[in-house]
Chain A
Amino acid sequence: MIYHHQFSCDRENLQAVRHFVTKVLREELFPEEDIPAVVLAIDEVCANLIVHSHQSDPDGLIDLHLKVTPQNVVCEIIDRDSIFYDFSNHRNPDIEQIVREGRNGGVGLMLVKRLVDKIEVERHGTQSTWRLTKGSLRPTLPA
Chain B
Amino acid sequence: MKISKLVKGNQTVISIDGDLDAGSSVLLDSAIEEAVASGHRHLLIDCTRLNYISSAGLGVFMSRVQDFEDQHIPMVLFGLQAKVFRIFQILGLDQLLKIVASEAEAATLAHQ
Please report A residues at the B interface, Cβ cutoff 8 Å: 11-12, 14-15, 18, 36, 39-40, 43-44, 47, 50-51, 95-96, 98-105, 107-108, 110-111, 114-115
Contacts and interface: CB of A to CB of B under 8 A. Distances in A.
Residue among A39, A51, A111 with max Cβ neighbours from chain B (10 Å): A111
A135 to B, nearest CB: 17
A98 B21 contact: no
Interface in B35-49: none
27 contacts: A11-B23, A12-B23, A14-B22, A15-B21, A15-B23, A18-B19, A39-B52, A43-B54, A47-B54, A47-B56, A51-B22, A95-B91, A95-B92, A98-B62, A99-B66, A101-B66, A102-B64, A102-B66, A102-B67, A103-B63, A104-B56, A104-B59, A104-B62, A107-B91, A108-B55, A110-B91, A114-B91
A14 B23 contact: yes
Contact of A111 (B19, B21, B91): B91
B96 A95 contact: yes
B95 to A, nearest CB: 9
- Interface of A: prevailing SS: helix
Contacts, number: 79
Interface residues of B, number: 26
Contacts of B65: 99, 102
Interface of B: 19, 21-23, 29, 52, 54-56, 58-60, 62-67, 83, 86-87, 90-93, 96
A31 to B, nearest CB: 14
Contact of B58 (A101, A107, A115): A107
Nearest to A105: B59
B47 to A, nearest CB: 16
